Amino acid sequence: MKTLQDGAMLHNGVRMPWLGLGVYKVQEGEEVVQAVKTAIEIGYRHIDTAAFYQNEEGVGRAVKESGVPREELFITTKVWNSDQGYDTTLKAFEESLKKLDLSYIDLYLVHWPVKGKYKETYKALEKLYKDGFVRAIGVSNFQIHHLQDLMATCEIKPMVNQVEYHPRLTQKTLHAFCKENGIQLEAWSPLMRGGELLNEPVLMEIGKKYGKTPAQVILRWDLQNEVVTIPKSVTPKRIKENAGIFDFELTVEEMKAIDALNQDKRIGPDPDNFDF
């Protein structure tokens, strides 16, 4: 974890950069194009979008205009709930691929565990993987019981589980389960929303010691916990700042102090009580 290009090795041998740019709620068109191009210029090689974000076209355009060879980039997108099911997922994937204007996707995820549908949806992902359209497949917002249910019948174990993860929601049991099963945990909303964490005295204090912001301290904590992280920003200064986490290391005590901020507090929906 020395540079922005360093990555986690997924269980199928594909390397996934530890830090990426998330584009949830980033507007289609110039806003998303500029954010992605800025990130790639800074050195990011991992971009995370989803059909639901409605900005895949802009992401694809930015990838093309960046001038960076496609094989150096890691692009994630996800199938939305209303498209879940076997045939509908294959169709949704085709649509995403067209919008992104790419010949393959690096990581395709089931966005939420829609009851009665996510197994069929995942079967479609397995087909896409076998046919070479995606380099890795996985899930998002899956709890342990969802993963166990899926793994009881799936042919290819998920490579990634992307979940809400931050110092107020440390997901220790889920993280341990994923580790045991060779599933890479990935954090969405690592900084929470509304900046509550950025004024947290513990994080401010640690940041002062290293000359880093609370946000940088959190992202470093992610990496040292071996969690891939995708903070969202459209501000060039912030995108650059978020990447400045490879030149310092938190001590064991500091890691524990951040762990202790956990309140099992979600800002997003609870996957077990989500209105799909």
Q: What value, to the nearest 5°, has the Cα angle with vertex 26 and ends 22 and 32?
A: 90
Catalytic residue at 53?
yes
Q: For the beta carbon of residue 134, count every other beta carbon within 10 angstroms.
A: 24
**Cβ contacts of residue 61 below 8 Å, gap of 6+?**
33, 101
pTM over 0.75: yes
Closest of 169, 170, 179, 189 to residue 147, by C-alpha: 179
Q: For the beta carbon of residue 71, count every other beta carbon within 10 angstroms.
A: 8
pLDDT at 7: 97
Cα 245 from chain centre:
17
Contact 146, 113 (CB under 8 A): yes
- Can you state the percent helix, strand and coil of the chain, rounding each to 5? 45, 15, 40
State in Å, rounded, how far the first CA of the chain is from the last one.
Answer: 37
Mean pLDDT in each 10-residue stretch from start to end of the chain (276 residues)?
A: 91 98 94 97 97 97 97 98 98 98 98 97 98 98 98 98 98 98 97 87 98 98 98 96 97 98 94 82
pLDDT at 276: 66
- List C-alpha distances in Å: 128 to 11, 108, 139, 185, 272: 17, 9, 14, 22, 27
**Tokens matching residue 151:** 């793994």
Q: Would strands 134-140 and 105-110 be described as parallel, antiparallel, or unpaired?
A: parallel
- List C-alpha distances in Å: 154 to 48, 75, 249: 24, 24, 38
The SS3 assignment for 55 reads: coil
**Tokens matching residue 240:** 């650059």
pLDDT at 275: 74
Tell me the backbone φ, ψ of residue 102, rounded to 5 degrees.
Answer: -125, 160
DSSP state of 149: H
**Catalytic residue of the set 53, 108, 122, 129:** 53
pLDDT at 265: 95
